[in-house]
Chains A and B, each alone.
Chain A
Amino acid sequence: MDPADETNWPLLKSERTWGQLELGIVLLVTATATWCYIIGEYVGYYLNLKQGFATMTAGSMIGMFLVTLAVVPAATRYGIDSIVAARPQFGNRGWIVTVFLQYTSIIGWNSLLIIFFGKSVVQLLLTIGAVEEASAGMVQIVATLIACAIIFGVLLKGKTGIERASNILFFFVVGVGLWMIYILFSNQSEAIATATPAYASGDIQWDYVTGIEIGIVSLLSWWPYIGAMVRVAPNAHTAVKPAMLGMGLPVPLLSVIGLAAILALETSDPSAWMVQLGGSFYGTIALLFVIAANLGTAIVGVYATAVGLKSVPGVGKMSWKVTLLLGLVPVAFIGVVLPDLFFNNFGTFLAFIGVFFAPLCAIQIVDYFLLRGQRLSVRALYDNSEGSAYSYWGGFNPAALAGMAAGFVVYVYLLNPLSYVSRSPYEVLTASLPAAVAGGVVYWIVTVALVKPAGRGGAN
């Protein structure tokens, strides 16, 4: 394996070998997972097919636009991941904020994906009669552990392993995904067209904005993943199209399956409605699709976590295998020991974690484009000393902390991410976009008023 794969070091020009096609395939396989059905299902609670498709796609592309602008230019200029790219804004100790967000977010999502993986394997084996109902619990545990072992094995090869796995999964995921859309729309076109959303609020403007909000906040969650992937591209030009079309667009397109299914068949779970439409054979294909899609995403998630964790001083000296285990063991533990407890409670935590990505993206955009003229000190990115340009005060930048706090307060004022109870002007502006603006503006003001005059942060 390339030594740079075992660290968070910047990749050299000679190591950044992924073109648009390679990066696009990896990002598409990353984006395609069970959450697409969940996103579609949520939007389908409030909106019909046309409105749901329009809002979900628009919101997703707006969210991807913010993530792309925040991460891609710096990551591709210097070959760095999302965490290292956030050091100029948060400080050479403030990275702990972004590592925490990345680690908890990806561990949480990966746990969900692995649990879904295990459940799908159980359903698949039950469908084909390979196991009895009584042994389902044990089969799910074994499937979870096998998934973790596969992820570990793939990632021993670093980014090369990801590329190979993505190339294998790509055709199956895309092919079956398109086939499922065809099956659903050709069988249920009238029911889908005439269906009304079950939980519409009665205020179409609120429902419409909520569809946009779900799209934006879903795609903002790509922030922790994208840096570790796009850093393998040689420049921003190579990464922009794969990011927007490979990682942004597939989510709403695949979420249409969940949206249409919840409207017409009142379930977004493909393994359930495919059985309704085509019997156990179709159900088996749907389960294989879920298994493959979740595996691809989980592989990239663990890789991004491992690269991000290399910013933690103690972890930086650990072997690659041990670092991978730091990303995998919590997932395996949750998947094996407390899947139900996790299902019932961890969604609360993830909902609040997601709120932070809007101001985080805005802070990075303001910093890189408006305050630093698209240039970073690559040496200071890896300098943990007090004398570093990015040490600020004790390693923390108050501008970033204030920006994050402002964004969080604005978001939860406008929209409770758990109950979806909102306050005006949410029904006009969404919650993520004002939170991003608040985060960016506060960061800019504190930087100009306090950080720059004090000669801190290296942006003078």
Chain B
Amino acid sequence: MDDRTMQMELDRRLAELEKPENQGGGLSSGDWIFLLLTGVIGPALLLLWGW
């Protein structure tokens, strides 16, 4: 692809991704609970068990 075609393709992508409906969703409340369980609470319990 030449420079101009590449810039046009990038512009097309950016225009599409500027629309919220084309973006990926964020973290749900379930994801936050999972993250806190595996990244904070689980490690804390493991450390208590291992001590």
Q: Say if the beta carbon of A69 comes within 8 Å of chain B.
A: yes
Cβ contact within 8 Å between B17 and A240: no
Bound state CA distance, A127 and B46, in angstroms? 40
Q: Say if the beta carbon of A227 comes within 8 Å of chain B.
A: no
Cβ contact within 8 Å between A73 and B9: no
Give A18 Cβ to nearest chain B Cβ, in Å: 12
Cβ contact within 8 Å between A378 and B17: yes
The main secondary structure of chain B at its interface with chain A is helix
0/1 interface trace, chain A 205-237, chain B, CB 8 Å (1 if under): 000100010000000000000000000011111
Cβ contact within 8 Å between B42 and A61: yes
Bound state CA distance, A321 and B23, in angstroms? 30
Binds B, one of A75-83, A86-94, A104-112: A75-83
Residues of B with C-beta under 8 A to A342:
none
Given A10-B13, A10-B14, are A65 and B39 neighbors across the interface (CB < 8 Å)? yes
Closest chain A residue to B38, Cβ basis: A244
0/1 interface trace, chain A 51-75, chain B, CB 8 Å (1 if under): 1011101110110111011000100
Cβ contact within 8 Å between B40 and A62: yes
| Complex partner residue of A54 from B9, B38, B46, CB under 8 angstroms | B46
Bound state CA distance, A55 and B51, in angstroms? 9
Q: Say if the beta carbon of A202 comes within 8 Å of chain B.
A: no
Bound state CA distance, A55 and B38, in angstroms? 14
Give A323 Cβ to nearest chain B Cβ, in Å: 14
Give B23 Cβ to nearest chain A Cβ, in Å: 5
Cβ contact within 8 Å between A78 and B43: no
Residues of A with C-beta under 8 A to B51:
51, 54, 208
Given A61-B42, A69-B35, are A12 and B24 neighbors across the interface (CB < 8 Å)? no
A-B contact count (CB 8 A): 107
Cβ contact within 8 Å between B43 and A61: yes
Cβ contact within 8 Å between A236 and B3: no
Size range of the chain A interface in the assembly: 35 or more
Given A76-B24, A77-B24, A374-B26, are A55 and B50 neighbors across the interface (CB < 8 Å)? yes
Q: Say if the beta carbon of A382 comes within 8 Å of chain B.
A: yes
Given A16-B24, A73-B26, A236-B31, are A61 and B18 neighbors across the interface (CB < 8 Å)? no
0/1 interface trace, chain A 8-27, chain B, CB 8 Å (1 if under): 01101100100000000000
| Complex partner residue of A241 from B17, B34, B42, B50, CB under 8 angstroms | B34
Given A9-B13, A54-B46, are A233 and B3 neighbors across the interface (CB < 8 Å)? no
Q: Say if the beta carbon of A3 comes within 8 Å of chain B.
A: yes
Closest chain B residue to A374, Cβ basis: B26
Cβ contact within 8 Å between A62 and B39: yes
Cβ contact within 8 Å between A57 and B10: no
Residues of A with C-beta under 8 A to B24:
13, 16, 76-79, 233-236
| Complex partner residue of A13 from B9, B22, B27, CB under 8 angstroms | B22
Bound state CA distance, A76 and B44, in angstroms? 28
Closest chain A residue to B18, Cβ basis: A378
Bound state CA distance, A208 and B51, in angstroms? 8
- In the complex, chain B residues 7-38 whose Cβ is within 8 Å of any chain A Cβ: 9-10, 13-14, 16-18, 22-28, 30-31, 34-35, 38
- What is A's interface to B at a CB cutoff of 8 Å? 3-4, 7, 9-10, 12-13, 16, 50-51, 53-55, 57-59, 61-62, 64-66, 68-69, 73, 76-79, 208, 212, 233-237, 240-241, 244-245, 248, 317, 374, 378-379, 382
Q: Given A9-B9, A12-B13, A54-B49, 4 other A-B contacts at CB below 8 A?
A: A9-B13, A54-B47, A59-B43, A237-B25
